[in-house]
Amino acid sequence: MNCTTCGAAVQTSATFCHQCGAPVAPGGTAVAVGILEPPIRFTLEASALGLFGRSLLLGLSGVFLVPLPWTICWYTRWLAGEVRASDRQSFDFHGEAKNVWAIVTAYVLMIIISSILGVVREDDPDLAWLILPDILINLALLFVGWFFLRWAIDHLERGGKRWRFVGSVWGFLGWNILFYVSILTIIGWAWAAVGLYNWIADNVEDAGGKLRFLGAGHQMLWRTIVRVLWCATLLGMPWAIRWFYAWLIGQVELTPAEQA
């Protein structure tokens, strides 16, 4: 009898193939055993100062608005290149400023208008009704955020395959509203944030498998508290930000398609 895994001759009384170790079924037929590939995990290779410097430049470009779309593309392309996968396939980001400038401009302008409305309400209590247009603006910000998220993921490529985000705007809106409402519970926002990340991962297609976010609410909570306290030292801010980013990226897992 021959092993169906490696083709070596095996005795009818053998339990395992002496050549490859595959188990042999009664009657001398070797049973092929599939080897399960481990899930793919991701790590952040960027240095603390490199990440902090680029993040600071990204924030400063928002003050001038005009260069912001280009800075976002530059920053995201750099960050994607700093993420390493356990299967050694690298990330590439192909987003261009010309495709996102309208989204970015609308987002920044709405933030400015919302800030102005807040100042006006504080100066004149009789204008408290301005909270209504402010609420509408903040809902619009969530819609714009969904467009930006879809744009970013749809232009992310790994191993020559472009990812695709299929999450609905209503799902994104619902999870974000839950997040903001859960802030009233003091700590519940951490579990809502994890739920949002899970929902995003679950709605990424064409990634070569199934994406999952493994982080838990309590992990998000204590790490956020540590990050805030660490950042309060000012000098430790770059390392605090890098530490938290590295944890977030490290919680993403990709199960190969044949095992998902």
Does residue 166 carry a pLDDT above 80? yes
HSE (side-chain half, CA atoms, 13 Å) at 124: 7
What's the pLDDT at 38?
Answer: 87
pLDDT of the residue at 30: 46
Confidence class for position 33, pLDDT limits 50, 70, 90: very low
What are all long-range contacts of 180-183, with beta carbons under 8 Å and residues at least 24 apart?
none
> What's the pLDDT tens digit per position in 151-161?
999 999 998 89
* Residue (of 53, 106, 110, 103) closest to 82 by Cα position: 53
Query: Which stretch of 31-45, 123-137, 177-191, 206-220 has the lowest confidence by average pLDDT?
Result: 31-45
Output the CA–CA distances (angstroms, integers) from residue 28 to 7, 12, 14, 32, 182, in the order listed.
12, 4, 7, 13, 62
Q: How many angstroms separate the CA atoms of 137 and 118, rounded?
A: 12
For residue range 106-116, list pLDDT tens digits in order.
Answer: 999 999 999 99
Strand 83-85, strand 209-213: pairing: unpaired
pTM here is 0.82
Lowest mean pLDDT among 2-6, 200-204, 247-251: 2-6
Among the ranges given (7-16, 76-85, 128-137), the one the predictor scored with the smallest mean pLDDT: 7-16
Q: Return the H-helix or E-strand segment holding 129.
A: none
Nearest residue to 226 via CA among 244, 213, 214, 199? 244
Task: Return the pLDDT at 9.
Answer: 72
Residue pair 159/208 in contact (Cβ under 8 Å)? The answer is yes
Is residue 254 over pLDDT 70?
A: yes
Query: Which pLDDT tens digit goes with each residue over 191-237?
Result: 999 999 999 999 999 999 999 999 999 999 999 999 999 999 999 99
Domain ranges of the chain: 1-35, 36-256
